[in-house]
Structure 1
Amino acid sequence: MSIATVGVVGAGTMGSGISQVCASAGLSVRLLDISPQMLEKAAATLDRHLERQVSKGMLDQAQKRQVLSRVQMSTDYTCLQGVDMVIEAATEQLALKREVLSRVAGEVSEHCVIASNTSSLSITELAAPLPNPERFIGVHFFNPVPVMQLIEVVRGLRTADATYARVLALAAQLNKACISSANRPGFVVNRILVPMINEAIMVYQEGIASAKNIDAAMVLGSNQPLGPLALADLIGLDTVLAILQSLHDGFNDSKYRPAPLLKELVAAGDLGRKTGRGFHGYD
């Protein structure tokens, strides 16, 4: 069964980015968020990103209007009725995601693929309360979604082969590359990346070097395109903390213990780019 209409739940950075790439690939998108303000922000972000593509000659104004016309926004879960696939992109909290997924399952058909954009939580655990868990799967996009080419595809214990095949077909339509990961905390990328970010925070916390110099060291010394502290700000410090807590809980290993400074910054509301302040300041 081909996927022509995609529902996206959550209009934050990831949800709006996923909506953009799906609409740009010719799919109809229904973007859902309980907050009208988040939908307004997502609409403005989508318009701004597409206008940037126009300015670069990647789109013309008519093509931009076509992409925008494919995205319908709503605060009502009934908008998901009749879609072929739903991608949940809510905040990285198990209880919240379970609540969202339960409401999604109450609106869609039994043939609809339900996916989570979780970056660290167990796909099997998320699927367990749902009817037809064989149609549930993890599809971990990376930020910024229109730029980053990778999707981690994570099968739960009961994910069906047909569900996996449909997700691979969608990824090809979106011009994304896929890797498959076993259902383990952090999957592949975050299992490797986030502990490195945490260690960079430890180095900063201990006063060994400034945030600017830590990032410069890893860019110039390890050929990384973005330093680890700047990357943490881009990801969102609350998300980095949630992933570390998931790794720590999942493996019961002290090497994943979040840096105290990271916890303090999150408690203070300094979450990185989205709040204007993290390890660096942003206008």
Structure 2
Amino acid sequence: MTDKIKNIAIIAHVDHGKTTLIDSLMKQSGMFRDNQKVDERVMDSGDLEKERGITILAKPTSIRWNDVRINIIDTPGHADFGGEVERVLHMADGVILLCDAAEGPMPQTKFVLGKALAQGLKPIVIINKVDRPDGRPEEVIDEVFDLFVSLDANDEQLDFPIMYASGRDGWCAAELDDPRENLHPLLNLILEHTPDPAVDPSKPFAMLATLLDSDPFLGRCLTGRVVQGSAKVNTNVQALNLDGKKVEAGRLTKLL
């Protein structure tokens, strides 16, 4: 049921703590067992990503919170991979903008945020790393607001909720002097602020595929946004190009 799903992307400049925040969200949502060993930067699974410590390919994960499935899309923060971010934003109904409390919004932040605003997404703004000695969170909020204005954000987008966080330490708060306990306030805000997907289940199944991967057990795996209808295992499907012409036909063997 679509009212039990939230699709949200997280955008930020490189090294502003985006992937670390997602790691903490995954752990606190109960995704892992208490006795399960979990590597840092779980979402950076590629060899080059692990070597360089940055996200190169956008990739989704899902967590459950209060009986709602939250699909989170981790996006690259480096300017060289801006096209990857622009492509996967079409999968999201909401977006989290993460800014370093010391560095503030950076040039890549402006590019990606502009794409999100143009798509009509209403951001949640998180000022991360507020425990840095050189942090200046209140000034950074002013800079973020000025950035929104320069990108012609509408009134709804300008009325963005703000949270302060330390993704590394796993806490988020609505005010700087609030208790710094966990990320539950952020999870609750995602449920409250992110719109439900607009899908008409009565129409034939159609999905906009944005990510293609290969699994040694499952074969080709497509990730994307369901724009209408519904599907189940063993449904026959067709792949169409941008002109609507059939490229190939296949069958759904597993839904994740």
* TM-score scaled by length of structure 2: 0.27
Say which structure is richer in helix. Answer: 1
| Structure with a larger share of its residues in strand | 2
Please report the TM-score for the alignment, with normalisation by the length of structure 1.
Answer: 0.25
